[in-house]
Amino acid sequence: MSGAAIAALIAAGAFVLLVLLLAFPLLKLGRTLDEATLAVRKTHEGAAPILTEAQSTVLQLNAQLGQLESIAANVNSMTTNVAAMTSVVSSTLGSPMIKAAAFTYGVRKTVSDRRDADAIKTARRKRRTAGAKHGKA
């Protein structure tokens, strides 16, 4: 064998060794990709029931929100009616009640002023009579 043949044989052996060294990580990478594919499949199979339940929950929530909207509309209507009734009662009873309160205040003020005036007159009489008694003695 010549030197060129030996060099070619060594080069071929090195090439086979290089292919074997590269084949091992490629096989491991293939297994990893198979496992990842399997995990994605299992996740997809498990996600379908969850999505179905989520869709059912959202539909029920929409129904409840529809009922809540009708309740809110009824409350709004009641609030408007109560405001109107309050306005009517206020205008109907408010003015007479204010007049009655003003009249009552006037009567109390007059009675109080008369009592004060009577008390002042009584005090002056007592002072005069006391002064007259002290002046005679």
pTM over 0.75: no
Give the pLDDT of residue 99: 83
**With the C-alpha atoms ordered 67, 73, 75, 77, is the resulting torsion angle positive or negative?**
negative
Give the pLDDT of residue 31: 93
How many Cβ atoms sit within 10 Å of the Cβ of residue 9?
A: 11
**Alpha helical stretches, state H, the chain:** 3-136
Q: What is the pLDDT averaged over residues 62-75?
A: 91
Smallest CA-to-CA distance from 127 within 114, 119, 112 is with: 119
Distance CA 34, CA 28 (A): 10
How many Cβ atoms sit within 10 Å of the Cβ of residue 93?
A: 10
